[in-house]
Amino acid sequence: MEICVDLKNSTIDKSEIENRRDEARSLFQDIWEKKLSYCGWVDYPGRISKSLVQEILDTAAKIRSESDILLVLGAGGSFMGAKAVIDMLEPPESDVEIIFAGYNFSARYVREILRRMEGKEVSLCVISKSGTTMETLTAYSIFEEWMKNRYGEAASERTYVITENTSNYLRRKAESEKIHCFDLEKDIGGRYSVMTPVGLLPVAVAGIDVQEFIAGAAKLASENAFTEANLDYAIVRQKLYGVGKNVEVFESFDPYFGYFGEWLKQLFGESEGKEGKGILPYTMTFSRDLHSMGQFLQQGTPCFFETLLSVDDVEGGEALDYGVPNTALESLAGKTLNQINKCAERGVFDAHVKSGIPLVEISIPKQTPYYIGMLMYYFEVQCAVSALLAGVCPFDQPGVEAYKKETRAHIQELDARK
C-alpha cells in the first residue's frame, strides 16, 4: 500500500492485532460484497462512469468560465469532504472562489456571503442527498431569491443540484425549474460520498484534478487491497478503546488540515457513535495547538490516543519552501520552514512516545489529489470496519433524528404564537 501506517508505537501487541485479522478481513468482505445496506461507496471509485466524470468536468468548466464565486449549499457529508480537499489542495492560481453555506442558520453568516457576492458573477450548487435538510433548503431559498433578482430566468442555468433520484423536495423543484441535476446513488451515505458528484463537482471547480483524486482512491478500491495487515489500524483503534482510550486525537502539522479534521470527525463520529459506544474523534493542528493543548497531551488524563497524519514530501518539496533568513535566531538561520516543521513533527512524536501515549502514524508520500483521494478512501474503509468490529452499523445515524424533531416542534411553536 502506498499509504504507510506505523503502528509500532500504538502500545498494542502484534499478537493481539493478529488475533482479530480474520474477523476484520471478513467484515471488509461483507462490505465489499454489499451484504449491508449503504455500501455503494466501496467500489465506486473504480466504477464511476467516464461519462459522469466528463459531465462533471464540463459543468466545472462552464462554472469556471462564467463565475467569480461558486456558492455550495450542503450540510454534513454534503459539503465537508469537498471543503477538506479544496482547503488542502486548491491551486494558488484558482480564480473561482468556492464558498460553502447551507450548514447553519446564522443570519450573520448569510449576510456576510451576500456582501461578498455583491458585484460578482455567481453560480449556485445545492447538495442534499435526502433533499430535505432544513439548513440547506433554508439557505437555498435565500440565495435563490438573490440569484433570481440578479439573473432573472437565467438563474436556473447557473444553478446545479445534486440529490438522490427519488421524488424529494429538492429534486421536484430542480425538475420543475429545469435545473441541471446530478444523481446521487441511493446506496451511498452522505459521509461516504466525497468521491461522487457531491465532492467532485466543487473540487473540480476549484481547479483540482478530480481524475487523479478518483485514481488514488480507485487504486485501493479493490477486493484484494485490504488483506493481511491492511486493516490493522481498525483493529488497533478498537483494542485501544477496549483499554479505556476513549478519544482519538487526529493531528497534523498542516495549517490547512482543519476541514480534513472536520471530515474525519464526521466520518468516525457518525459512523461509530451509537448504542452507547464509540471513540470520540478530536482534531488538533500543530504547531498552533501545541501552545494550547500540548500540555494536556503530555501530562493530562491519559484517556486518548493520537493519530498523526504526515506527508513525506511537504508542499511539493523545495520548490515551495522558504528559507529562514540569517537574521533569525542562530539555531534557525539558514534552515527552511519545511525542515523546521518536520523537526517539530518528529520532536512531538518522540516526546509523546517517550511519555507512553499510544501513537499511530499514517503517512502519504505527497500532498497531491492522488494521495488525498487514496487517504480518504483508506479512512472510509478503516472507519466502516472499525465500527463493525465494535458491533455497530457504520452507515446509519438514528440519533440525529431526535434534535431535528425537537427543532421542528420549536419552529411550529413560532407559528402558534402568531
Kindly tell me which residue out of 40, 189, 278, 281 binds ligand PA5, with binding defined by CB under 6 A.
Answer: 189
CB of 180 to ligand PA5, least distance (A): 18
CB of 267 to ligand PA5, least distance (A): 8
The residues in 259-318 that bind ligand PA5, with binding defined as CB under 6 A, are 270
Q: Is 75 in the site for ligand PA5 (CB under 6 A)?
A: yes
Out of 144, 270, 361, 380, the active site residue is: 270
Closest Cα to residue 104, out of 138, 132, 81, 56? 138
Rounded Cα gap, residues 70 and 123, in angstroms: 5
CB of 199 to ligand PA5, least distance (A): 11
Kindly tell me which residue out of 9, 67, 78, 283 binds ligand PA5, with binding defined by CB under 6 A.
Answer: 78
Nearer to ligand PA5, 184 or 390 (CB): 184
The residues in 99-128 that bind ligand PA5, with binding defined as CB under 6 A, are 128
Q: Is 81 in the site for ligand PA5 (CB under 6 A)?
A: no
CB of 394 to ligand PA5, least distance (A): 10
Q: Is 219 in the site for ligand PA5 (CB under 6 A)?
A: no
The residues in 126-155 that bind ligand PA5, with binding defined as CB under 6 A, are 128-130, 133, 136
Rounded Cα gap, residues 219 and 222, in angstroms: 7
Residue/partner pairs of 17-24 with CB below 8 Å, 24 or more apart = 17/232, 17/235, 17/236, 17/239, 20/235, 20/238, 20/239, 20/389, 21/228, 21/229, 21/231, 21/232, 21/235, 23/389, 24/231, 24/232, 24/234, 24/235, 24/385, 24/389
Contact 14, 6 (CB under 8 A): no
Kindly tell me which residue out of 83, 171, 173, 191 binds ligand PA5, with binding defined by CB under 6 A.
Answer: 191
Closest Cα to residue 236, out of 280, 275, 279, 285? 279
H or E stretch at 133: none
CB of 102 to ligand PA5, least distance (A): 9
The answer to whether the Cα torsion of 63, 260, 181, 222 is positive or negative is positive
Show which residues are catalytic: 270, 291, 404
Residues within the interface to ligand PA5 (CB under 6 A): 75-78, 128-130, 133, 136, 189-191, 270, 397
